[in-house]
Amino acid sequence: MAYVNFKEERQVTKEQLKKRRTNNEKLFNKLMESKDLPKCYNPDKEYSYRCFIEKHFGGGRIQDEEDYEVIVNKDIICAIFDNCTFGNLKFENCNFIGCRFENCKFESGGVIFKNCCFYKEESEKKPSLNRRDNFSCEFRNCEIYAKFDSCTISYCIFSKCFIENTYFLLSDMTSLITVDSEIKTIRIEDCDLSGAKLMSTYVIDLDFTDKVKTKLDEKTFFDKIEYRNKDRAEYEGIYMTYETIANKFKENNLNNNFGEYYYLCKETQRKTLKIIPKIYSFFYWATCGYGERPTYSIIFALSIILIFAILYLLFGVKIDGNIISYLDYKVYNNSIIYHLMNFHKGITLSCGMFSGVGANNIEPIRFSEFISNVEMLIGLIIIGIGVGTVTRKIVR
């Protein structure tokens, strides 16, 4: 009973990504041709409608934040930055409209974006009432070391990027798409991630340091993290990432999403445990899927019933006054129908013992009596776990 359909969410994200790129390309070409913008924008002549190739922006060697070169109040329209580098640079109160960053590196002391906007919502089409362009920027194959402080990066695309030691603070990240990327040591504080999508992205060390609350909604999607090194350090990093995501969904009262990422967290954590804790974790997984998979209780119960039915026939049961034990090799000389009937009786007895009600005309003998006691205890436990798991889901 999964509440996050990863296959469906991936397909939705791919379709959104395709439509967004098509929309951005259409608006980019139109704007490059007409240069028709609302009066609230004043395209900067130095940066707008230009393509920069292999150019460096900012200072050279690593500097402290107070020594950064500052670019203030610029409207940078439809600029393409190809194989460019940015370092020791601060953009403040700038608008990036339809800009593309391709194969760029944000390096040295990093880049600060403060009160910057990477998104144009309003439309120039007439009539413009209720029209939205959703014209966004794209970072493709970039290495990003930056700080986004009070920025609007809605609908932006991060594709094949390596994002490390980056801080998102009080930023609008609604409907952001990150795909085929790697995220390492990221801090998010009091941002809006409604509708944001992370697909095919390797995430290690994701941290929410909220003073108020980062917002998530039902459309927010974090894809499963594919293992690379398959060692203990990686498993620990991934399960802690899942735990962080799960807790953030829970904080937003999205308990169904919380349960899905909690399950992924516990499943990954099991790979890091020692023998005894791993056995306990495996039992917890097999019986109820860490409290998130009620169907696991049914599968486990059916498996127990089947196993104990075989044990009863092996060690002996009395059926209609006749003792049958498959330890006696003479019993194998009978027909297939005979064996099928015995197996049916064994399952009947096992079902009765599992539920604690017994069975008419069938009773365990010798060692099978001990087996029946064990099955009744297991049955009571599993029924309790199954009912608890189902109730938990229904309450949600």
State residue 228's pLDDT score. Answer: 92
Give the model's confidence band at 129: pLDDT under 50 very low, under 70 low, under 90 confident, else very high. low
Length of the chain: 396
Span 341-368, average pLDDT: 82
Q: Does one domain contain both 306 and 249?
A: no
Task: Determine the Cα–Cα distance for residues 358 and 129; give it in Å rounded to an integer.
Answer: 72
State residue 127's pLDDT score. Answer: 56
3-state helix/strand/coil string of the chain: CCCCCHHHHHHHHHHHHHHHHHHHHHHHHHHHHHCCCCCCCCECCCCCCCEEECCEEECCCCCCHHHCEEEECCEEECCEEECCEEEEEEEECCEEECCEEECCEEEEEEEEEECCECEEEECCCCCCCCCEEEEECEEECCEECEEEECCECCCCEEECCEEEEEEEECCECCCCEEECCEEEEEEEECCECCCCEEECCEEEEEEECCCCCCECCCCCEECCCCCCCCCHHHHHHHHHHHHHHHHHHHHCCCHHHHHHHHHHHHHHHHHHCCHHHHHHHHHHHHHHCCCCCHHHHHHHHHHHHHHHHHHHHHHCEEECCEEECCCCHHHHHCCHHHHHHHHHHHHHHHHHHHHCCCCCCEEECCHHHHHHHHHHHHHHHHHHHHHHHHHHHHHC
State residue 1's pLDDT score. Answer: 42
What residues have CB less than 8 Å from 289, skipping those under 6 apart? 263, 295, 296, 389
Write out the residue range of the structural domain in which residue 263 sits: 230-272
Please indicate, yes or no, if residue 387 is contained in any of the structural domains. Answer: yes
Report the mean per-residue pLDDT for the chain.
90
**What is the C-alpha radius of gyration for the chain, rounded to an integer number of angstroms?**
30
Please indicate, yes or no, if residue 325 is contained in any of the structural domains. Answer: yes
Q: Are 365 and 316 in contact (CB under 8 A)?
A: yes
Structure tokens at 221: 């999607």
pLDDT, tens digit, 9 for 90 and up, residues 180-224: 999 999 999 999 999 999 999 999 899 999 999 999 999 999 999
Structure tokens at 315: 């060690």
- Beta-bridge partner residues of 177: 157, 197
Residue 149, φ and ψ in degrees, nearest 5: -110, 115
Q: Does one domain contain both 188 and 312?
A: no
Q: Does one domain contain both 106 and 211?
A: yes
Structure tokens at 306: 């089947």
Q: Does one domain contain both 135 and 240?
A: no
Q: Does one domain contain both 333 and 217?
A: no
pLDDT, tens digit, 9 for 90 and up, residues 90-110: 999 999 999 999 999 998 889
pLDDT, tens digit, 9 for 90 and up, residues 344-353: 888 888 888 8
Please indicate, yes or no, if residue 254 is contained in any of the structural domains. Answer: yes
Q: Are 49 and 43 in contact (CB under 8 A)?
A: yes
Task: Determine the Cα–Cα distance for residues 388 and 355; give it in Å rounded to an integer.
Answer: 16
Q: Is the peptide bond before 364 cis (omega within 30 degrees of 0)?
A: no
Answer yes or no: is pLDDT of 122 > 80: no
Q: Does one domain contain both 253 and 138?
A: no
Span 83-95, average pLDDT: 95
**CA torsion through residues 326, 331, 333, 337, sign:** negative
One-letter amino acid for residue 351 of the chain: C
Q: What's the CATH code of the domain at 43? A: 2.160.20
Q: Does one domain contain both 193 and 264?
A: no
State residue 349's pLDDT score. Answer: 86
CB atoms within 10 A of CB 72: 11
Q: Does one domain contain both 205 and 71?
A: yes
pLDDT, tens digit, 9 for 90 and up, residues 17-59: 999 999 999 999 999 998 888 788 899 999 999 999 999 998 7
Q: Does one domain contain both 253 and 325?
A: no
Please indicate, yes or no, if residue 327 is contained in any of the structural domains. Answer: yes
Answer yes or no: is pLDDT of 327 > 90: no
Q: Are 305 and 347 in contact (CB under 8 A)?
A: yes
Please indicate, yes or no, if residue 1 is contained in any of the structural domains. Answer: no
Q: Does one domain contain both 199 and 236?
A: no
CB atoms within 10 A of CB 162: 16
Residue 267's closest CA among 301, 243, 231, 299? Answer: 243
Please indicate, yes or no, if residue 37 is contained in any of the structural domains. Answer: yes
Please indicate, yes or no, if residue 286 is contained in any of the structural domains. Answer: no
Q: Are 233 and 194 in contact (CB under 8 A)?
A: no
Please indicate, yes or no, if residue 277 is contained in any of the structural domains. Answer: no
Question: What is the total count of domains within the chain?
Answer: 3
Q: Does one domain contain both 259 and 369?
A: no
Q: What is the pTM of this model?
A: 0.86
Q: Does one domain contain both 189 and 240?
A: no
Task: Determine the Cα–Cα distance for residues 64 and 87; give it in Å rounded to an integer.
Answer: 11
